Structure 1
Amino acid sequence: MKLTVAVEDCIIGAVMGLLMVGLSGKFFSLKLPDILYALGFGLFLVFIILDLINEIANFSGSMMIIFLTFAHNIIDAVLTVAFISKFTAYTIPYITDYAVPLLSTPEGMFYAGAFLVVANAIWIFTAPMHA
């Protein structure tokens, strides 16, 4: 269930990762209102869910790729929900207690953003190989 291209969730994930790197202030500084970050991660969560539905509907290909896709989407979803919780101050059980404190420091935000950028870029560039 893809809307436009096969890697639309990865593109949004990489953009959100760049925004987190910018918010951390490590390489560049980019501060936007918290609601924009929350809306961006909300959109990213929708595309993660669509990607999981697409994977289940088209359950074919290498088992390793399928496993990696599910693992990557789950990690992305946990990070996304944690960032939504952080930017909206909405309490989500376990996520708010364990993940949000890790993402509240500039270093944690930088590494989470770097993960989103690098992991989603890998999927973007390798998508033609496992399509």
Structure 2
Amino acid sequence: MTITYLWREDVDNDSLNALHAEAFGHPVERTDWRTQLERHSLGWVCAREDGSLIGFVNVAWDGGAHAFLLDTAVARHHRSRGVGARLVAVAAEGARAAGCEWLHVDFEDHLRPFYFDACGFKETTAGLVAL
């Protein structure tokens, strides 16, 4: 089966809410992803297999040189097959094409091998304030 990866592909709220809940281990919510993506994102990448949404990543930005990965999600039965790394690569291509110079990501410690080894991110010093 072939997996397709599309930048700024049309995605429906129900499919994305279901994928997000599976990927992050919470109940299915009723988030209006379409409105959120159109208002606040540079772009996003959808991974599909046989029409089903199996992966997603959101790319927010500052309107200039900096883009930020959010909500990288892969369906459980597709993990450890390169889907997430390909999502991130397509997201980087889209951000680069839009004129961004930097792609940032924050993540939990257990995802270090994924972002550093599989996706090529480099460790930096950053700060965070809990609001």
Does the alignment reach a TM-score above 0.5? no
Task: Output the TM-score relative to the length of structure 2.
Answer: 0.28
Counting helix residues as a fraction of each chain, which structure ranks higher?
A: 1
Q: Which has the higher contact order (CA 8 A, sep 6+)?
A: 1
